[in-house]
Structure 1
Amino acid sequence: MFASIKRLLIGRPLKSAELGEQKLAKSKALAILSSDALSSVAYGPEQILLVLVTIGVAAFWYSVPIAIGVLVLLTALILSYRQIIFAYPHGGGAYVVSKQNLGLFPGLISGGSLLVDYILTVAVSVSAGTDAITSAFPSLHEQTVLIAIIFVILITILNLRGVTESASILAYPVYLFVLALFILIGVGIYNVMTGQVSPELHAPIGTPVAGISLFLLLRAFASGSSALTGVEAISNAIPNFKDPAPNNAAKTLIAMGVLLALLFSGIVWLAYYYGITPKVEATVVSQIAEETFGRNLMYYFIQGTTALILILAANTGYSAFPLLAVNLAKDKFIPRMFTARGDRLGYSNGIIILGVLSIVLIVAFHGQTEHLIPLYAVGVFIPFTLSQTGMIVKWIREKPKGWVTKLIINAAGALISFVVTIMFFLTKFEQVWTILVFLPLIIYLFLRIKKHYEAVGEQLRLATCEPPIVIEGNVMILPVAGITHVVENSINYAKSLKADQIIAVYIPFEREEEAAFQEKWEKWMPDVRLVTLHSPYRSIIHPLLKFIDTVQRKASESSYQVTVVIPQFIPKKGWHNILHNQTSLMIRANLLHRRDVIVTTVPYHLKK
């Protein structure tokens, strides 16, 4: 039944040879890997105005030079990540760059930051999109958490179906959003140029404003830079592109940068010219759309596509998180299960874990994750800073052709990213301080996992100086609960292995049972030694383990191996298991951690 449901939801399994068919063309990759960055246009400009409004509406003209600063940072990041794509064509992005050029700990900081950031991407994006829906339909407000969870489950299932299938479906809403905003910006600019918008709605650029300071401008710049989250996703996901993967990834990155720059600058300029003031009940984009079109079909089209892009921005996390997890898993910093491909050739374990953790966040914050946006942004700018710095070290060390230009690009990106990171800590410390707690914990966990894998490898390696175990013979212990076909089957199996001694162990709770069973056994199987262990406290496990330990100590003196053979009957139907005590499972669970004791189960399958 489970297999049928899985087949229905996820689709038929794909052969490994079909992996090439799961690679992305540039048009689809642009949609699913840019959705996070493009969706930030819906809130990035608003973040700038929210800081400037503390001084007054006259300060709104500063949003234009601040936006120019954000575009300069965007240019530096796009050019830098383009260089990273060609320098590290197998993906990994900031984690690989930082680890190889700055060392292990900077690499783990980048990797840990991005893993958490992608979880936040899903939680924040889906919650923001859900808020847009419940704003349009207030009666659904009490179901915010449930709606958000349903969206996460749907996106998770869609990604489990494969990269190309999810891209084919999710590309349409992303391009509809881009089209809607270009129409909005185009009509808005036309209205301004034709004099349909009064110039009195805004203060002229250069108007003196009392109370303005460099600190406040830097704070507004840092807040506006939240529009750049998701820029790094393409460099992490190079393996998802069709060949030549680096070239296609670089072209997609440039296309994303151009789209983001045009949309961001257009919204900022229209917000300034229209004199838009941030409101709790209406976003900046909503106000611009209403001023431009009124509350007509076009307005609702823009709002609908905005809600969709906010939800689908989560897909950037689903595209990048599994690939980053693969790189960390290959380096043995997280479980190896993240390197396994699923039925549809995607890294299913990474996709499922991302979905589960994002649902945990949504439930924990009751779907109100908007105050996680600063943490979400600083979680990206730390890897931004480290990756740019790592590229600086790379160019200085290798000095390839044109390295000075590349060095200047990365130095500019590193400096601006560092300033933005510091501004987040200075201005929104109460919202981002947790990163100073969970990052060390994540790095500690990475190192503990790495240490475990190294210890396992050292102990399993044939070159180790560990002496081989010498086995002179075998003693088999067989717990029995009665005289049945299950026990008979297990004894026959033990005899077939030519054991030196077979000991059947019966644990009665009453003395009368003990004598009666010994008598029956002598008549049924006299050639197999029976040991009875009376258990006055009605425990099976404790006396059995005590007996096994006694036998094992004596056997080890003669280099004999102790094997515990556990009879177990298997019901025909799975649900029948709940009708039985599962004693054999408890015995096996307790024995698996016993040194120098081999545990084997002999199943007996019931026919009805």
Structure 2
Amino acid sequence: MAHNNRLFWLKLRTFMFGHPLATNYAEHTRVGVLGGIPIFGSDIISSEGYAPDEILYILLLAGAVGYAYVLQVSIVIILLLASIIMVYRKAIQKYPQGGGSYTIAKAYLGESFGLIAASSLTLDYVLTVAVSVSSAIDNLTGVLPWLAAPDHKVIADCLVILFMAWINLRGLRESARLFSVPVYLYISVLVLLVGTGVVEIMFHGVNPVKTTRIVEPALSGMTWFLFARAVAGGTTALTGIEAVSNGVTAFKAPSQKRAIRTLLVLGAVVAVGLSGLVYLAGSYHLVPSANNTILNQLGLLVFGRTVLYFVLIGSAAAILVIAANTPFAGLPILLSLMARDGYAPRYFKNLGDRLVYSVGIWTLMLVSLFLILIFHGDTHLMLPLYAIGVLLSFSLTGIGLARHTQREKEGTKWRSDLAVFAFGGILSFLVFVVFITTKFTQGAWIVLVILPILFLIFRTICCVYRGEMAEIQVTPAVMEDFRLHVAKVKRRRAHVEVSEYRNKIIVPVYDLNVVVLKALKYAYSLTPLVTAVHVGSDPDRVNKLLRHWAENHMEIPLEIVDSPYRATVHDFLGYLDKVEKKGKYDTITVAIPELVPQKMWHNILHNQTGQLIKLMLLLRKSILVTSVPYHPLPKESQAVNLNLPKPGLGR
């Protein structure tokens, strides 16, 4: 019965998420330029659809004179876009492992600025999911009126987020296949809309019948501040551009070249789409409204109520949903990089069954659902928070690269690079300030509260990890004590044959540290039949452990259990099955090294693999399990150097 239940759940899991993929299959799961555009570009491509509305909402405060400035605003935004693309192109070239704003700011401005960039991107990714999904459902209320009810809208938002998480848990290639058609269909229809509209104006001019009413001015003419506000509103078209630099490792080799090509293609699409839409909107003197967007008005003017119009509106609604895919691709990669640096819980760096960072995907899903419930799926409540974080990360990236360029002065074009990076960084920061100032009372103040909280969370996690690492690192004194212990036990057993021992002890290890040495000392005191076992899913980690084992002349044998599917617990239990089948031992004991954190909440920073092994072994009658806890010294009795190197922690 138990076997049948296990088989049923295995089949259900495979049906939902697909067959697990081996680590050496990673290259086959990566994407090229055509796959990278829908995965990493859906957010920025969808954003250009409503950026003209945000620009005109502000410019029309000056009345009809505002139409004269739409092109100037779009030119400033495109210049900013070009500088940002140059910034991230450089970031991709210098950091092939990805990381974008976080990596650049941390490397060239310092740890604190790196964490500010990471906090900004994290906030922006989460808000992108909530805002994109909520906006997409809003657009569907015209077709499905029952979605307008608040409860129905919240349920629909949550179902869409669950769907997006499920698709991404199935892998990058799965999401690329599914989202490619609507994304490329939207791009094609948008280019056709802009091209047809521009050609019509060039040959026939603007039809006065199509011109809307003149807007009554709310202010006395155009001002620099109003112009800056319009630029700030239009920068919503730039959200998501940083995702490509975060996800370089998701591209096929040569990953850097493919990532740069994807970035350039996305930049060209946004530049053409945004400038074209703004130009047409200004020429026709269109007025945006909540129930009639600029894109919808242009679709009716250029295409009429034809098939192309309905394809445009349908694909626009679809891509708003798909825009939520960019954070599901970008945030897990960002968190994995932060986890490797010790600023996020270590389990964020572990690949799931389908070679994606599944813990990051689950986390983003849960936080996004929480936001939808808190704001009741109201797009207008969340929109003022949108794009603020990404502007700050743009600024830090540009300023960081400008500082690095000024210091190093590499190549003959360093002055032009410096100008581009500084322009992008400074302009992004000015737009960020305008955004915060103008949207402060509308909810932007929440960003100024959340960003410091995220910063403190990341910094606290880092301090906890560094403190634990300093406590458990192997020093020469600790290693000498271990050797003396082994030698003492050997002398005690000098007249006893090893064959007389029938009790076997297995110690699972992840790295060589004080916690593991304590478990090995305990095990070796009981029997010479001790084996350290490492379940190897990461070749780099395996090589590092083997090197440490050899350098310290460990007399206790180390066995490596291959884990191609990264199923640590499953493969460890499989190893125990093989040992048990040999029938050479009266008892088999698993001694699990455990670091006992000083504070209970520190447990959430560890993935509790040891606890899961103990739980699974409770069902095995012939296997004994014991924990060997290690309690770090109180902080007041240890001098922790926070700049110590970072040896690995046990899982």
Range class of TM-score, shorter chain: 0.7 to 0.9
The correspondence of residues 46-445 of structure 1 with structure 2, limited to 5 A, is 46-142=53-149, 143-195=152-204, 197-198=206-207, 201=211, 210-401=220-411, 402-430=413-441, 431-445=443-457
Match of 2:62, SS state, is coil
Deviation at 1:603, TM superposition (A): 4.5
Match of 1:53, SS state, is helix
Is the 1:57–1:277 contact (alpha carbons within 8 Å) kept by the matching residues of 2? Answer: no
Is the 1:375–1:435 contact (alpha carbons within 8 Å) kept by the matching residues of 2? Answer: yes
1:201-243 per-position Cα deviation (integer Å, ceiling 9, x unaligned) = 3899xx9x94221111111111111111111111111101111
Q: State TM-score, norm by structure 1.
A: 0.76
Match of 2:392, SS state, is helix
Equivalent position amino acid for 1:162 in 2: G
Deviation at 1:470, TM superposition (A): 8.7
For the residues of structure 1 that align with 2:299 and 2:279, how far apart are their CA atoms? 13
Is the 1:330–1:336 contact (alpha carbons within 8 Å) kept by the matching residues of 2? Answer: yes
For the residues of structure 2 that align with 1:70 and 1:434, how far apart are their CA atoms? 26
Deviation at 1:342, TM superposition (A): 0.7
For the residues of structure 2 that align with 1:5 and 1:267, how far apart are their CA atoms? 47
Deviation at 1:458, TM superposition (A): 2.2
Deviation at 1:133, TM superposition (A): 1.3
Q: Percent identity?
A: 35
For the residues of structure 2 that align with 1:118 and 1:604, how far apart are their CA atoms? 42
For the residues of structure 2 that align with 1:136 and 1:420, how far apart are their CA atoms? 36
Deviation at 1:50, TM superposition (A): 0.6
Is the 1:10–1:160 contact (alpha carbons within 8 Å) kept by the matching residues of 2? Answer: yes
1:445-501 per-position Cα deviation (integer Å, ceiling 9, x unaligned) = 11211121122222222218677799999xxxxxxxxxxxxxxxxxxxxxx989xxx
1:295-333 per-position Cα deviation (integer Å, ceiling 9, x unaligned) = 332221111000011110111101111110011101111
Is the 1:58–1:203 contact (alpha carbons within 8 Å) kept by the matching residues of 2? Answer: no
Q: 1:174 and 1:594, CA in 2 relative to 1: closer, same or farther beyond 3 A?
A: closer
For the residues of structure 2 that align with 1:603 and 1:22, how far apart are their CA atoms? 37
Range 131-140 or range 380-389, more displaced: 131-140
Is the 1:202–1:272 contact (alpha carbons within 8 Å) kept by the matching residues of 2? Answer: no
Equivalent position amino acid for 2:269 in 1: L
Equivalent position amino acid for 2:192 in 1: I
Equivalent position amino acid for 2:30 in 1: K
1:416-440 per-position Cα deviation (integer Å, ceiling 9, x unaligned) = 1111011112211122111221111
Q: 1:298 and 1:464, CA in 2 relative to 1: closer, same or farther beyond 3 A?
A: same
Equivalent position amino acid for 2:164 in 1: I
Deviation at 1:592, TM superposition (A): 11
Range 189-198 or range 105-114, more displaced: 189-198
Match of 1:54, SS state, is helix
Match of 2:116, SS state, is helix
Deviation at 1:196, TM superposition (A): 6.1
Match of 1:37 among 19, 44, 47: 44
Q: Look up the match of 2:575.
A: none
For the residues of structure 2 that align with 1:228 and 1:593, how far apart are their CA atoms? 46
Range 398-407 or range 459-468, more displaced: 459-468
Match of 2:328, SS state, is helix
Gaps of 5+ in 2: 1-7, 490-501, 505-524, 527-593, 599-610, 622-651
Q: Look up the match of 1:502.
A: none
Q: 1:166 and 1:441, CA in 2 relative to 1: closer, same or farther beyond 3 A?
A: same
Deviation at 1:114, TM superposition (A): 0.4
1:248-291 per-position Cα deviation (integer Å, ceiling 9, x unaligned) = 11111111101100000111011111111011211110011112
For the residues of structure 2 that align with 1:280 and 1:454, how far apart are their CA atoms? 51
Is the 2:65–2:221 contact (alpha carbons within 8 Å) kept by the matching residues of 1? Answer: no
Count of equivalent residues: 490
Q: Look up the match of 1:28.
A: 35
Is the 1:96–1:107 contact (alpha carbons within 8 Å) kept by the matching residues of 2? Answer: yes
Equivalent position amino acid for 2:166 in 1: I
Match of 2:21 among 6, 14, 21: 14
For the residues of structure 2 that align with 1:314 and 1:100, how far apart are their CA atoms? 29
Structure 1 moving runs of 4+ over 4 Å: 464-473, 591-595, 599-606
Q: State TM-score, norm by structure 2.
A: 0.71
Match of 1:392, SS state, is helix
Match of 1:212, SS state, is coil
Deviation at 1:293, TM superposition (A): 2.3
Q: 1:297 and 1:396, CA in 2 relative to 1: closer, same or farther beyond 3 A?
A: same
Is the 1:58–1:202 contact (alpha carbons within 8 Å) kept by the matching residues of 2? Answer: no
- Bigger CA radius of gyration: 1
Is the 1:362–1:369 contact (alpha carbons within 8 Å) kept by the matching residues of 2? Answer: no
Equivalent position amino acid for 1:425 in 2: I
Deviation at 1:194, TM superposition (A): 3.0
For the residues of structure 2 that align with 1:181 and 1:157, how far apart are their CA atoms? 29
Gaps of 5+ in 1: 474-495, 499-558, 561-590
Q: Look up the match of 1:453.
A: 465
Equivalent position amino acid for 1:352 in 2: W
For the residues of structure 2 that align with 1:605 and 1:24, how far apart are their CA atoms? 43
1:352-387 per-position Cα deviation (integer Å, ceiling 9, x unaligned) = 111111111111111113332332211001010000
Is the 1:188–1:270 contact (alpha carbons within 8 Å) kept by the matching residues of 2? Answer: yes
Is the 2:375–2:381 contact (alpha carbons within 8 Å) kept by the matching residues of 1? Answer: no
For the residues of structure 1 that align with 2:313 and 2:347, how far apart are their CA atoms? 40
Is the 1:339–1:347 contact (alpha carbons within 8 Å) kept by the matching residues of 2? Answer: yes
Equivalent position amino acid for 1:169 in 2: L
For the residues of structure 2 that align with 1:224 and 1:309, how far apart are their CA atoms? 19
For the residues of structure 2 that align with 1:441 and 1:420, how far apart are their CA atoms? 23
For the residues of structure 2 that align with 1:438 and 1:186, how far apart are their CA atoms? 42
